[in-house]
Amino acid sequence: MMTETLWCSGCKAAFISTSKAILDQLDLAHRLEFRLILTRKYAGDMRVIRFLRERALGNSPSRLVRQLRENHSEEWLKRLCRYLGACSDFTSQPSLLPVRFQEPPESETIPSHRWMLAVYGRDILCRIDHIKASITSTYGCILKMDSTKKITKKLSGFAKGTALWLTSVSNEVGQILISVLTAQEGPALDRMAADLIRRYTDAGVAPPQLLYVDCDCCRKGTGQTKLKQRFGGWPDLVVKLDIYHFMRRLAAGCTKDAHPLYPILMARMSSCIFEWDSGDVSLLRQAKREQLRHEGIPNITDNMVDQRITKEELALHCRRRTRGEKQTILMIEHLLSELMGVKGRDLLGVPLLDQQRMQNIWQLQKKHVKCIQDEPGVLLYTQTGTTTKNGIVLPNYRCARGSTSLESFHLHLNRFIPGTSANSLNFQLYLLEGPNRWNQDRKMASLAGKPPSMLSYSGDLMHCVNTQSVKVLGRELAPSFQPPSVYTGEFQL
């Protein structure tokens, strides 16, 4: 395939005829006719580039190159076998002159993984405006903020060491509002907070109610914390400590995590903090009892019913609430005093808790029990659907409490960046494409009902289809898609 090189007499610059600057002058319907990304030596089919968009463990450019090499080699061998088989029929027949056959063509050379990454980067750059607009069009009423160092270790080249932290903010369904790279936690996040506040103000969206964090939730005295000062544009924002991080702080007083009583400590500590909604648990028990009766089990007791209820069913069909500051403190102190005695030792006499260290930790963390309590009047559970079990309809709930979803996102983002290193350009492209796909997955998971059969992350394409279908058919063919607003110019990554 050959193409022209266009010369601009005004700016004195040369452009290949399939470059982004030329294709952007066409409407999307005509632009989609160019199904290849051309470079000086090779051409990349968009069907191949799509395999690089879904990043996960074991799905790297090197693996794609090996798979393409295997596919091309097998296809070349099949065609070679057919060609040589047809030629062999002529060699077996008598002939006056020796029969000579043309040499088969050589197998095509597969580009390297570096070329694949370069073409993948061009594909993202073609959609970069829509990706940034989609991320900055995300809002929420319950926010979570967390930072990690694992991802920045993959930054290589001249930018290596310039960023040590990746800080992300998500909403109640797990969608990412913003992610920034900083050299340190603290003043570097002031711009991120200012951009978020400006986004809500310009869009006329109500400010969030809660913010879950892993530190800086409260301080001694009457002054505000640095985090509250950073989000000073939202004076009514309530900062809450993530309960998982609170429990991990107390778990630091254990002698070792491998102690056989460690899981019991964490389960009992969770019971000291949470209590299940009695109505939801009663409905689930009723459904389980009907299930056991349907299975023909005689003499069903309450203990048998409770043993058949799994943790997954409790988390899906039952809501939890915190017990209150005073009751939580009393129950945790009773638990710690109990495990500091004989009950806190294994069969070899090894204690679970380091008594002196645990007492010091508890004295420091007791003040944070107030920070982990649920805020009155804030709905933390959303019903996403129902499940019918043996004629009993059970509601399905999604919880917005805590920042566990951000831990999952950081794990996903670390896998989304292939290999162990990436230069500054590829690093930023991955950190824009990854949250964009993550947000769309979280949005589809949060919708009640059956997910649509169509799966596409090309928002500009779906918006174009809806716009044209309204003109032609009078309705949208992709009604679940909501076009993003204009990019707000926020500092992203």
Cα–Cα distance measured from residue 394 to residue 477, given in angstroms and rounded to the nearest whole number: 33
Same domain? For 273 and 385 the reply is: yes
Predicted pLDDT at 55: 67
- Does some domain include residue 52? yes
Average pLDDT over residues 53-63: 72
Q: Average per-residue pLDDT in the chain?
A: 86
- Does some domain include residue 156? yes
Contact by Cβ (8 Å): 26, 15: no
Same domain? For 116 and 174 the reply is: no
List, for residues 348-363, the tens digit of each pLDDT value: 899 999 999 999 999 9
Looking at 349, 369, 392, the residue that finishes a domain is 392
Average pLDDT over residues 25-39: 79
pLDDT-derived band at 441, boundaries 50, 70, 90? confident
- Does some domain include residue 54? yes
Mean pLDDT: which of 185-194, 245-254, 396-405 is highest? Answer: 245-254
Same domain? For 437 and 355 the reply is: no
- Whether the per-residue pLDDT at 492 is higher than 60: the answer is no
- Whether the per-residue pLDDT at 449 is higher than 70: the answer is no
- Does some domain include residue 253? no
CATH number for the domain spanning 169: value is: 3.30.420.10
Please indicate, yes or no, whether the overall pTM of this predicted structure exceeds 0.75.
Answer: yes
Same domain? For 85 and 27 the reply is: yes
Same domain? For 362 and 276 the reply is: yes
Contact by Cβ (8 Å): 205, 138: no
pLDDT-derived band at 277, boundaries 50, 70, 90? very high
Chain centre distance of CA 341 = 43
Looking at 357, 392, 427, the residue that finishes a domain is 392
- Whether the per-residue pLDDT at 493 is higher than 60: the answer is no
92-131 residues labelled b (16+ CB within 10 A) or e (exposed): eeeeeeeeeeeeeeeeeebbebebbbbbbbbbbeebeebb
Residue 474, judged by CB atoms within 10 A of its CB (0-12, 13-18, 19+), counts as exposed
List, for residues 289-316, the tens digit of each pLDDT value: 988 888 888 888 888 888 889 999 999 9
Same domain? For 232 and 268 the reply is: no
Contact by Cβ (8 Å): 398, 381: yes
Number of domains in the chain: 3
- Whether the per-residue pLDDT at 240 is higher than 90: the answer is yes
Predicted pLDDT at 58: 62
Predicted pLDDT at 21: 77
Torsion, CA 282, CA 288, CA 290, CA 291, rounded to 10:
170
Which structure tokens are listed for 133? 């607009």
Chain centre distance of CA 34 = 31
pLDDT-derived band at 453, boundaries 50, 70, 90? low
Distances (CA, A) of 192 to 50, 84, 178, 236, 339: 32, 65, 8, 19, 44
Predicted pLDDT at 246: 93
Same domain? For 267 and 387 the reply is: yes
Looking at 368, 392, 416, the residue that finishes a domain is 392
Same domain? For 160 and 66 the reply is: no
- Does some domain include residue 491? no
What is the Cα gyration radius of the chain? 30
Range of the domain at 86: 5-94+108-126
pLDDT-derived band at 101, boundaries 50, 70, 90? confident
Distances (CA, A) of 426 to 415, 417, 430, 434: 14, 9, 6, 12
Place of tokens 């200012």: 194
Contact by Cβ (8 Å): 74, 108: no
Contact by Cβ (8 Å): 189, 182: yes
- Does some domain include residue 447? yes
The angle at the Cα of 31, spanning 28 to 37, to the nearest 5 degrees, equals 135
Q: Is 301 helix (H, G, I), strand (E, B) or coil?
A: coil
* Helix 424-446 with 113-126: angle, nearest 10 deg: 60
Place of tokens 């070679």: 80
Read off the DSSP letter of residue 155: B
pLDDT-derived band at 451, boundaries 50, 70, 90? low
Same domain? For 370 and 410 the reply is: no
Contact by Cβ (8 Å): 399, 322: no
Predicted pLDDT at 332: 95
Same domain? For 371 and 422 the reply is: no
Same domain? For 159 and 49 the reply is: no
Query: Strand order of the sheet with strand 210-213?
Result: 176-182, 165-170, 142-148, 210-213, 238-241
